Amino acid sequence: MGFWQKLFGKKKKITKQEDIPPTKSIDKNLEIIKEFFKDCEDIVYREFTIGEGGCKAAVIWTDGLADRDLLNEFILEPLMMDARKVQPGYKEIKNNLVKFVEEKTLVTADIGEAETINDAITQILSGESALLIDGSDKIIVIDSRGWQSRGISEPETEAVVRGPRDGFTETMRFNTAQVRRRIRDPRLKLKHHQVGERSKTDVAVMYVDDIVNKNVLKEVEERLNKIDIDMIIDSGQLEELIEDEWQSLFPQVQNTERPDTVASALYHGRVAILVDNTPFVLIVPTTFNMLMQSAEDYYERWDIATIIRILRYFCIVIAITAPALYVGITSFHPQMIPTDLALALAATRRGVPFPAVVEALIMEVTIEILREASIRLPGSIGSTIGIVGGLVIGQAAVEAGIVGPLMVIVVAITAIASFAIPSYNLAIAVRLIRFGLLFSAAAFGLYGIMLAILVILIHLCSLKSFGMPYLSPFITFVQDSSDLKDTVVRVPHLAMNKRDINAPKKEKGRLDDHQEEDFDIEDNIDEKK
């Protein structure tokens, strides 16, 4: 029951309502609760008497959230029917009725007590049932959560060819179980918070106690406690409230639908934040490198994964710079490319009435519209529209002489390249940055592109995610080059004998029994210094 105490220990800080202690009279209590639940017609009050000639009691629950079968069979039946049949009778146990009920009558797995009526109300709204007994100032809370929920299905946003197919669902308890299933270690800790003054959304913080970066954990707890908002619907809102730089385009918190990704992150000393009512789990701290990784990299052969990762980094470069380079080269530096190509390029652009930047803008905006439209369309039509939009409009635009054919190729490659970025929130940032680069290339050519890349680099360098520099393994490799093993390359698992940058230095070693000396020596040197 520590779980609920923790939950409500936090709540006291947030809530401004005065706590009302329950009284000994059930009528009084019921009156207060009914006052709270005025006009809430989905709240069910079931009043009855316990046993033969016993005292009054009432069970309160929210219809739809509580499991009705459980209530009938394991709460109402023992209290009303069985209590009559068996000894001791009501009169003998009158004085410690509550204790008796709790210990011997209720046959449910999890019961607790609410300290105040406000507590009880939150519990009822979370799907628990409250049992009130006349003559007692205690409210027994019975775990009866049981609502309809979506089953575990494959995560659509992070599909893999090889790897586990289960994804998170909207119920947090299932999600924590899915993570727990992968980490059978008592050192995996789980702490509950409640966020949102009205929504009282459950938020769970998961970490592995000995390998987590304590500073990050402290920071997470602090930021979660600092949140002052009425409701949280999705983890996206929470992400914005706890991230370091909300002005930045770049996501500083990773989100995933995959339990295996979360488990792997926890094993590397990161912290997972699970939010109720959403399948998207947040992982912090997040670096740029982590957003460029896919879960599948670890399940496929290492050499192939490495090549694919290099390809992915190449793709992000294309996605950011390709249209800008086209504009820069055609309008400022045609001498850069081979003469034949430059001539061919000029010939295709001969009939185009616009400067290169307008040409690029027309095509880029078109493709962005197509993208946005295809999300709204039902799946089956979506792909058709993609083909119609991509092929037909592109072809028609070239034939109409609005854009050059090379521009269509560049825009198409750019769009495809941006889909190769594994995390969607990074990909949309890249989409926007591309336009910035386009304009700076239009103004200053390659010089503009260089400056724009510098600005992006400066921004990335100054970003931090929960105290971790955003470009982490790339800027700290001098101190510890082992962090580079899991970046652009993915070395074989045998060689990945160290946890990544998130874990504290002492806990870096992974395969303790095999490579112990390796990192021990390093630690000793550090201590000597």
Partner 1 sequence: MYSNNDRVSYYQIINILVLTLIGVGILTLPRDLVEIASTDGWVILLGGGILAMGIAALHGYIVKSFPGKGYFEILCLTLTKPIAYLLTVFFIIYLIGTNGFLVRIFAEVVKVMLLPHTPIEMIIFAMLLTVIYLVREGLEPLGRLTNIIFPTSVIIVLILFGLTLGEVDTSNIRPILQTPPLQMLKALDIVIFSFLGFEMLLVFGAYIDKPQKATRIGPLAVGAVLIFYLLLNFSVLLNFGPAQTENLIWPTISVFKTIDLPGAFIENVEVAVMAIWVFTVFTTLDSFFLGITILLKDVCSTKEHNYFVLPVLPFIYFISMYSISIGDVYQDFGIFSDYTAYIILSIPLLILLVMAIKKVFKKDGKESI
Q: List contacts with partner 1 (CB under 8 A).
A: 332-333, 335-339, 443-448, 450-451, 454-455, 457-458, 461-462, 464, 469, 471, 474-479
- Where helices occur in 140-213 by DSSP H, the ranges are 172-182
Residue 60's φ and ψ, nearest 5 degrees, are: -125, 135
Question: What's the min distance (Å) between Cβ of 442 and partner 1?
Answer: 12
Question: What's the min distance (Å) between Cβ of 286 and partner 1?
Answer: 16
Nearer to partner 1, 340 or 372 (CB): 340
Give burial (CB, 10 Å; 0-12/13-18/19+) of 222.
Answer: exposed
For residues 522 and 524, give the distance between their C-alpha atoms in angstroms, rounded to a whole number.
5
Question: What's the min distance (Å) between Cβ of 331 and partner 1?
Answer: 11
- E strands, 77-143, in order: 111-114, 129-133, 139-142
For residues 473 and 466, give the distance between their C-alpha atoms in angstroms, rounded to a whole number.
15
Nearer to partner 1, 304 or 461 (CB): 461
For residues 253 and 488, give the distance between their C-alpha atoms in angstroms, rounded to a whole number.
20
Question: What's the min distance (Å) between Cβ of 345 and partner 1?
Answer: 13
Nearer to partner 1, 354 or 477 (CB): 477
Question: What's the min distance (Å) between Cβ of 484 and partner 1?
Answer: 11
**Nearest alpha carbon to residue 61 among 52, 50, 69:** 69
Nearer to partner 1, 190 or 317 (CB): 317
Rg (CA), the chain: 30
Nearer to partner 1, 13 or 528 (CB): 528
Give burial (CB, 10 Å; 0-12/13-18/19+) of 339.
Answer: exposed
Three-class DSSP labels, 96-126: CHHHHHHHHHCCCCCEEEECCHHHHHHHHHC
Question: What's the min distance (Å) between Cβ of 514 and partner 1?
Answer: 30
Question: What's the min distance (Å) between Cβ of 482 and partner 1?
Answer: 16
Q: Which amino acid is at 42?
A: D
Concatenated DSSP letters of 23-55: -S-HHHHHHHHHHHTTT-TTEEEEEEE-STT--
Nearer to partner 1, 261 or 440 (CB): 440
Question: What's the min distance (Å) between Cβ of 449 and partner 1?
Answer: 9
End-to-end Cα, the chain, rounded Å: 47
Nearer to partner 1, 133 or 325 (CB): 325
For residues 242 and 251, give the distance between their C-alpha atoms in angstroms, rounded to a whole number.
12
Question: What's the min distance (Å) between Cβ of 320 and partner 1?
Answer: 15
Question: What's the min distance (Å) between Cβ of 273 and partner 1?
Answer: 24
The total of other beta-carbon atoms located within 10 Å of residue 274's CB is 25
Cα dist from 363 to 27, 347, 367, 388, 425, whole Å: 71, 19, 6, 15, 22
For residues 344 and 309, give the distance between their C-alpha atoms in angstroms, rounded to a whole number.
33
**Nearest alpha carbon to residue 117 among 101, 98, 132, 134:** 132
Question: What's the min distance (Å) between Cβ of 440 and partner 1?
Answer: 8
Nearer to partner 1, 32 or 450 (CB): 450
H or E element that contains 483: none
For residues 65 and 145, give the distance between their C-alpha atoms in angstroms, rounded to a whole number.
6
Q: DSSP secondary-structure letter at 19?
A: P
For residues 51 and 43, give the distance between their C-alpha atoms in angstroms, rounded to a whole number.
25
Q: Which amino acid is at 379?
A: G
Question: What's the min distance (Å) between Cβ of 164 and partner 1?
Answer: 35
Question: What's the min distance (Å) between Cβ of 123 and partner 1?
Answer: 43
H or E element that contains 254: strand 254-256
Position of tokens 């009435």? 353
Nearer to partner 1, 299 or 447 (CB): 447
Nearer to partner 1, 143 or 244 (CB): 244
Interacting residues of 391 by C-beta distance below 8 A, sequence separation 6+: none
Nearer to partner 1, 308 or 471 (CB): 471
Nearer to partner 1, 90 or 474 (CB): 474
For residues 27 and 33, give the distance between their C-alpha atoms in angstroms, rounded to a whole number.
10
Q: Which residues of 113-122 are buried (b: 16+ CB within 10 A; e: fewer)?
A: bbbbbbbbbb
Nearer to partner 1, 234 or 480 (CB): 480
Q: Which amino acid is at 464?
A: K
